[in-house]
Structures are given as structure tokens and as C-alpha cells.
Amino acid sequence: MLATAMKKIAAGLNGALNHAIAITLRIAYRMRMTAPAPAPASRQPWREEPPALHSSLAAVDLRSFGAELDALHARLKAELGVEDLVHLARMARWGRLCTLLGYASAWLFPNPLAALLIAQGITARWGNVAHHVLHRGYDAVPGCPPRWRSGVFARGWRRFLDWPDWIIPEAWCHEHNQLHHYHTGQREDPDLVERNAWLIRAQRVPRPLKWLMLGVFMLSWKALYYAPNTLWTLRRSQRLRAAGRGDRAPRLATPGEAWRIVVPGERLLWPGSRDGLAYYLGCLLPYTLFRFGLVPALFLPLGTWAWLSVLLTSLMAEAMANLWSFLIIAPNHTGDDLHRFDGGTRGRAEFYLQQVSGSVNYTSRGPVSDFLMCHLNYQIEHHLWPDLPALKYREAAPEVRRICERHGVPYVEESLWRRIGKLFAILLGDGSMRRTDMQQDRAMRDLARP
């Protein structure tokens, strides 16, 4: 009787999900058909929002602002030392401890507390360790052991020792370290939330359907968004390098130009292509076998119930890890008080200006909250100098804030929960980010120059 009821519930949920997907695709199709057209793939008006009212940052004295930040960066680099390695080891140890404590009780019965601990362990390994190590944050620290250096960490077979996850580390380094960090808030930023969420933001989409799409996305975004999108950008880069330069080199669409419904990597979800096959074999299969195959199998000596409990708890943990990582990552560059940019930067001072005005910090209450938020509560400092260890961001934050206040540069710091509220306002189409035209700001500075 219970089995029959479960089957009916599953059938009902499946039917509702299929109906929601059909409505979503129909809305996307109609929006595409009613858009001003025809337009090349690089200009998809049914997905791109027109530039909003210009929000100028031209009043900032770039030369003085940049010089002060350069001096602070030089001082922080000179102070690299053993305390940075001790801090990294502590963050790694806390993450491993969460994972061990979670699995220590996961075999008893499927329970959310064990799943929560495992989820924090997964997220901490990504955010507190892999993120900063792969940014070369510890390469220049005296006495740094090889395992914490970017050229060794998670490379080859060490991926499953250092950072087992859906995402291929080399793909993450290209998409995140290069494309996102050096095009923050620009058209070429692959992680520009306001643009990627165009379908959810659309006024034609019913509110319940928006929440349904958001819920599915937040619980699976590493596997269905980050893994394929990072791999797509890496494969494109590899093709460009293989083709070389010159007139005969292929003109491949950039991440900002490529035709997509949401992100370019969505085409890898179809396994019929070579890149799609690489995604399934390189991203989904290894991590699935590791997290949901090998790890639960280790508990088989304790019985079938122990194996099943660990498997179900691991599935819960994966959903929680996706949700928590989304809630601490996505708000970092999203909100109606943050800037996105039409045009790139010229010079380091403009780069600094974009990073500060397009990023946000979360209020911190000490080392434990830093650990739980994976040091993303110092996102402004991290985006200014991604090559620094995590501990240095905590030390730099007060000084960076004072420099910004002296120069009239917006430095946004609020509680994580308030920023999540601002994130959802953007995602649901209830607000929009500020838009800054970099070329227009340069022209205004040139006119003001004596």
C-alpha cells in the first residue's frame, strides 16, 4: 500500500515537472520569436537586457586610488609567512573533520545532521582550500609544501585526493581564474548572474514557476551549471591554442557572444557530441562513482542498511552542498547596489575600481564564520588580489575599506542574509543592477582633466 502511494506521488511529481519544463520552453521560444530580429548569435535581444541609465564612477581619482591599493598589496605580499600556511592547514583540517563526523553517523540511519556536516566538508574543500590554492595564493609563501602549490594540487590523479567534485580543476582554473576574475560584471563574465537568469527574470514567467526553476537549479548547480560551463570554456580555449594565430585561425565565439539559452555549457548536457561525452566521462561519471559508489560501498561490511543509509545521506549532503555554495557564492556580485559594466578596463586602477564596485563583502564574526562562508565574506579583497592567501584578506579588509572611503569608491558590506535577499530580488526580476559604461566614464575624466 505504501509502495503504491509512493508510486502515485512520484508519478504526480514527474508530471508536474514535465509540465513546468514544457511551459518554460514555450515561454523561451515565444520570447525569442517576438524579439527584434534577425540578430547574430553575439547579439541575442531575447536574452540581453538593454543598457540601463549610466551609473558613473568617473569622479574617482584613479591614479591616487590605484597607488594606495598597489602599496597595500606590496606590503601584504612582503608579509607572507608561516601563519598563512598554519591558517590554510586549519581550514583544511576543519573541513576534513566535518566530513569525518558526518560519515561517522551517516551509517546509522539517513539523517540531516550527518548530511549537513558532509555538505560543509564538501563546500569547505572547494571554497577554503581549492579556491585559494588554485589561484596561486600560496605559491609565493616561503616554505609552502608542494601539495599546496597550484601546479600540484588536484592535478591528475590528485583530483580525487585534493578536491573530488563535479568540476574538472583545470576547467575551473580557466573559467573562474581568468574569465570571471578579469571580466567581472562585464559581458564576457561567464558568471554574470543578472544576465544568466534572464529567463527567470522575465515578467511573463509565473512566480511559482520562477521559484520551481530556482529550486531545481540551486540544488544541482555544480553538476548542471558549473561543471559543463567550465569545461566548455576550457575546450574552446584548447581549440584556439591548437589552431594557432593568423588569418586561418578559426573565429570562435567568446563566452559572451556564444549562442545559448542560459550559458554556453548547456550544449554539453547532450551526450551526442564529443564535448558532451567529455562532460559525462570527465565530470559526472567520476564524481558519481566516488561519492555515491565508492564511499557508500566502504560501509558494506556493516551491512546493507549501513550502505543504504550512507548512500541516502550522501545524496542529501550533495543537495545541501549545492544549496549552501550557491547562497554564499551567487550574492558576491549581485544586487541593485552593485555595478555591472559595459566595456572592459584599461590599467590596474580601472581594474581595481571594477572589482570593488562590482563585489560585496559579508559581515564576519570571526574565524568560524569565515570558515562557514569559505572566506567569500572578503570577496572585495579577493577580487583585488586573487594571488593572496585567505588569511591576508581578513587583514586587508579594514584598510581597503578606509582607502575606498577616502576616494569615494562604493565599498559594500552587509550580512549574508541581507545579500541573499538582494540576490533573489535580481533573480526574480524585482530589481536590476547598476550599469556603468567604462568608455563614457573615461571620456568624462578626460574632459575634467586640466
Instruction: Map residue 366 onto helix, strand or coil.
Output: coil
pLDDT in tens, 167-196: 999 999 999 999 999 999 998 999 999 999
- Select the more confidently predicted residue: 261 or 50: 261
| Average predicted confidence (pLDDT) for the chain | 88
How far apart are the two ends of the chain, measured CA to CA in Å? 84
Residues in the chain: 450
| Listed range (155-159, 202-206, 377-381, 446-450) with the worst mean pLDDT | 446-450
Angle at 32 between CA 29 and CA 33, to 5 degrees: 85
Mean pLDDT of 294-302: 97
Would you list the DSSP string of 41-57?
Answer: TT--TTTPPPP-SB---
Confidence grade of residue 260 (pLDDT, cut at 50, 70, 90): confident
* Distance, CA of 356 to CA of 333 (rounded, Å): 10
Grid coordinates of 137: 595564493
- Residue 361 has φ and ψ, to the nearest 5°, of -100, 155
Q: Which amino acid is at 192?
A: L
The domain ranges of the chain are: 166-244+251-297
* Distance, CA of 400 to CA of 398 (rounded, Å): 6
> 383: closest CA among 422, 329, 439?
329
Contact (CB, 8 A) for 388 and 76: yes
Grid coordinates of 35: 524579439
